[in-house]
């Protein structure tokens, strides 16, 4: 009996410690494309535990089922499904963060942080959030409420790698739950986000690795790249929308000589500008 009480007390204190600290520690998750549990496949950087001023968070979200009817050899939907949020993870993230270290003075961690819109406060500890393949996301009302709160408090969301009209509509369905009364607008070339480090007046479509198979820079009917945003009442971008492009793949494959350098370079520059814009606005 006494041992049980001690055990409960220890558990409770850990729980209390966790609540008190409210910042979840780093951990890895099973990915669609990379098996992080196999350290040979994608080892952790040596300094993964180093505490820094900044890191980029990746949003874990529930997804719709397959939109386009594609499945892999395991019978898992290639698009959609519970692991949709892990597309490019963690290789894309780790490459990108190395780029941040090399190209800016941001003191970044070498590894990403996975966050949830689960009603817990942890998401607010990571004001820079990235979500991939949001053409498949399916936010609940509660998740949308928390995302709205996150953004209005000062958080920044960058969404990427979703293509065409169908995926745009799926994205919009959840995004409209977050901000039903805010317009999504095309970013003007003069916007500071395109000039905060690099001048990015001449942008072009950045395709994903599918280009090496299809030979096309677009997917579905996403012919033209769209740089769009949702602004707050002070004229600051809260949500930066990269539609009809795949920056995540560009970061992921930037070290592969088969992936053209010009796309990788632009993808990094866009990311650096977007991160710097967030930290200066």
Partner 1 sequence: MFEFLFKYPSAVFSRGTFVLLSGWPMWVLGAGLLAAAALLAWMVWRPGASQGRGMERRMGGWRAVFVWLMQTAMAALLLFLLWHPALSVATLKPQQNIVAVVVDDSGSMATPDENGSTRKDAAVRILNSSLIKELQGKFQVRLYRMSDHLERIEKLEQVTAQGSATHIGESLKQVVEDANSLPIGAVVLLSDGADNSGGIDLDTISDIRRQRIPVHTIGFGKEKMAHDLEINDVEVPSRALPESRLAATVHLHQRGYAGQKVKINVKEGNKILASQEITLKPDGVEQVEPVLFSAGPAGVKTIQAYVDPLPNEENLRNNSVMQLVSVDDRKPRILYFEGEPRWEFKFLRRAVEDDTTLRLTTDLRTTPDKLYRQILKDQDPNTNLVDGFPTKVQELFDYEGLILGSVDQAYLKPAQQQLIHEFVDRRGGGLLLMGGRDSLADGGYAQSGLNDLLPTVLPDTKKKTYVIDGADVELTAAGRESLITRIEENPDKNVERWKKLPYLMNFQDPGTPKPGATVLANSIPKGGGGNKLPLLIVEPYGRGRTAIFATAGSWRWQMLQPVADMSHEIFYRQLLRWLVSDTPKRVKVSTPHPLISDDSHVKLRTEVRDSTYLPSGDATVEAHILGPDGITETVDMRPEPLEQGVYVADWTTPKAGSYTVEVSAKHGQDDLGSDTLTFRREDGVAENFHVEQNRDLLEKLSSETGGRYYRPDEAGRISKDITYSEAGITVRETRDLWDMPVIFLLIAGLRAAEWTARRKWGVI
Please, what is the minimum distance in Å from the beta carbon of residue 237 to partner 1? Answer: 13
Neighbours of 235 (CB within 10 A): 9
Residue 66 backbone phi and psi in degrees, to 5: -60, 135
**Which CB, 155 or 164, lies closer to partner 1?**
155
Please, what is the minimum distance in Å from the beta carbon of residue 274 to partner 1? Answer: 12
**Which CB, 14 or 70, lies closer to partner 1?**
14
**Which CB, 150 or 259, lies closer to partner 1?**
150
Query: If you write DSSP's letter for every residue of the chain in order, what string do you get?
Result: -HHHHHHHHHHHHHHHHHHHH--PPP-----SS--TTSTTTSPPPTTTT---SB--EEEE--B-S-SS--B-TTS-BSSSSTTGGGTTTTHHHHHHHHHHHHHS---B-SS-EEEE-SSSGGGGG--EEEEE-GGGB---HHHHHHHHHHHHHT-EEEEE---HHHHHHHHHHHHHHH-TT---EEPPTTSGGGTSSS---S------TTHHHH--S--TT--S-EEEEEE-TTS-EEEEEEES--HHHHHHTTT-TTS-HHHHHHHHHHHHHHHHHHHH-
For binding to partner 1 (CB under 8 A), which residues are involved? Answer: 20-23, 51-54, 103-107, 121, 124-125, 127, 149, 152-155, 196-197, 234, 275-276, 278-281
Please, what is the minimum distance in Å from the beta carbon of residue 278 to partner 1? Answer: 7
**Which CB, 153 or 258, lies closer to partner 1?**
153
**Which CB, 40 or 53, lies closer to partner 1?**
53
Please, what is the minimum distance in Å from the beta carbon of residue 76 to partner 1? Answer: 36
Please, what is the minimum distance in Å from the beta carbon of residue 228 to partner 1? Answer: 22
Please, what is the minimum distance in Å from the beta carbon of residue 127 to partner 1? Answer: 6
**Which CB, 24 or 281, lies closer to partner 1?**
281
């Amino acid at each position: 009996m006494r041992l049980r009480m001690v055990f409960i007390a220890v558990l409770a204190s850990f729980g209390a410690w966790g609540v008190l600290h409210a910042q979840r520690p780093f951990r890895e998750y099973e990915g669609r494309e990379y098996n992080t549990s196999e350290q040979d496949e994608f080892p952790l950087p040596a300094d993964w535990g180093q505490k820094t001023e900044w890191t980029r968070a990746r949003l874990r979200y529930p997804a719709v089922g397959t939109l386009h009817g594609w499945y892999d050899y395991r019978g898992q939907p290639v698009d959609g499904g519970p692991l949709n949020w892990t597309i490019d993870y963690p290789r894309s993230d780790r490459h990108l963060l190395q780029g941040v270290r090399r190209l800016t003075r941001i003191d970044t961690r070498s590894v990403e942080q996975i966050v949830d819109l689960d009603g817990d406060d942890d998401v607010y500890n990571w004001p820079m959030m990235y979500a991939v393949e949001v053409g498949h996301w399916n936010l609940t009302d509660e998740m949308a409420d928390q995302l709205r709160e996150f953004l209005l408090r000062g958080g920044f969301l960058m969404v990427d790698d979703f293509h065409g009209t169908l995926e745009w509509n799926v994205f919009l369905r959840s995004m409209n739950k977050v901000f039903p009364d805010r317009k999504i607008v095309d970013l003007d070339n003069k916007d500071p986000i395109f000039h905060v480090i690099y001048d990015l007046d001449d942008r072009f479509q950045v395709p994903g690795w599918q280009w090496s198979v299809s030979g096309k820079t677009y997917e579905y009917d996403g012919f033209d790249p769209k740089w769009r945003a949702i602004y707050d009442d002070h004229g600051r971008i809260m949500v930066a929308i990269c539609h009809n492009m795949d920056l995540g793949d560009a970061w992921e494959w930037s070290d592969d000589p088969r992936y053209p350098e010009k796309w990788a370079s632009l993808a990094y520059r866009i990311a650096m500008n977007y991160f710097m814009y967030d930290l200066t606005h």
